[in-house]
Amino acid sequence: MGFQKGPADAIPTTPFKVHDQIEYRVKGRILHTTARGPFSNVVEAIPPTITEFLKRLAQQGRWGQIVNFQHSALIPAEARQNFAAYLKARYENTAVKPVVALVFEPEVEAGALMAPEILKCYLDAGIQGQVFESYASALDWVESEISQFSTRLEWKDSYTIGDAAIDEQHRELFKRAAYVLAATSHEGQVISAMRLFQYMRTHLSHEEEWMRQLRYPDADHHAHEHRALMARLNTISLKIANENLVMADLEEFIGDRFLNHMETADTDLARFASAIRAS
């Protein structure tokens, strides 16, 4: 469906002090966008920082964008066509495309007129999108659509090492790591990462106290692995605090490095404890 050129296509010369402005802010897994129109050329208004923002968001897994239009949503037909082509090129070879919520509050000039046309630009680029009249409803929808779960952070019964208390702590660690990736806001990511870090420290301290009580002969090497694990998790936590969560980092840490520690060092510890109890 084409858009018929008419009065709405013309950029008015009325006294708009702010126009052709697009601002971005990444918060967690959501790209918050403020679009102040009217627009004569949407593509030229896009800040070059978008490249870095998209890279950061893609590293986190599923992500979303909220575009909040202010003042005016007027965009000429040619500018809309250029924007549609830009979106297609931007996301053509992207493995994970965003979901996009377009917010046109009632007071935005030509919001009702432009909403379906701007939405069509995203849909034609293969991007899931919807139109909303309020930021709050847009945020609720985006957060629900970008919920994610990593199979690499899913606890499996095969991970048990044979000690009920330690197995329960390991299960909790996997759960807390999954919460970090599930968080959509930066605040949620930071809080979840802090809870994971604190629980990991408590768990490893519990294991080390257990080794002392058992007089475990390999305690020093085991504790050395614990220090290496905490150092790596600290690095990941700092990246999250600096708004740079990388999904693959956490998956590798829990799903590979920590799992390998469980299957080797922790399993050996559990076997030693079992032998002590049996003697």
- At 3 the pLDDT is 34
Q: How far apart are CA 28 and CA 128, in angstroms?
A: 19
Query: Residue 133 falls within a domain, yes or no?
Result: yes
Per-residue pLDDT for 41 more than 70? yes
- Residue 167 exposure: Cα atoms within 13 Å on the Cβ side: 12
Alpha helix segments (H runs only) across 17-98: 42-45, 50-58, 77-91
pLDDT single digits (tens) 88-136: 999 998 888 999 999 999 999 999 999 999 999 999 999 999 999 999 9
Query: Residue 140 falls within a domain, yes or no?
Result: yes
228 and 179 within one domain: yes
Query: Residue 2 falls within a domain, yes or no?
Result: no
pLDDT single digits (tens) 133-167: 999 999 999 999 999 999 999 999 999 999 999 99
219 and 100 within one domain: no
pTM of structure: 0.86
CATH number at residue 61: 3.30.750
Domain final position from 102, 118, 145: 145
Decide: 66 and 31 in contact? Cβ < 8 Å: yes
- At 275 the pLDDT is 93
The most distant pair of C-alpha atoms in the chain lies apart, rounded to whole Å, by 91
Burial of 58 (0-12, 13-18, 19+ CB in 10 A): middle
CA distances from 197 to 74, 129, 194, 261 (A): 48, 36, 5, 17
Domain final position from 117, 145, 173: 145
SS3 66: strand
Mean pLDDT of the 159-184 span: 96
Token pair 């293969």: residue: 126
140 and 179 within one domain: no
Q: How many domains are there within the chain?
A: 2
pLDDT single digits (tens) 216-256: 999 999 999 999 999 999 999 999 999 999 999 999 999 99
- At 95 the pLDDT is 81
Domain final position from 145, 160, 187: 145
CATH number at residue 246: 1.20.120.50
137 and 86 within one domain: yes
- Mean pLDDT in the chain? 93
The parent domain of residue 185 ranges over 151-278
Q: DSSP for 99-126, please give it.
A: EEEEE--TTSBTHHHHHHHHHHHHHHTT
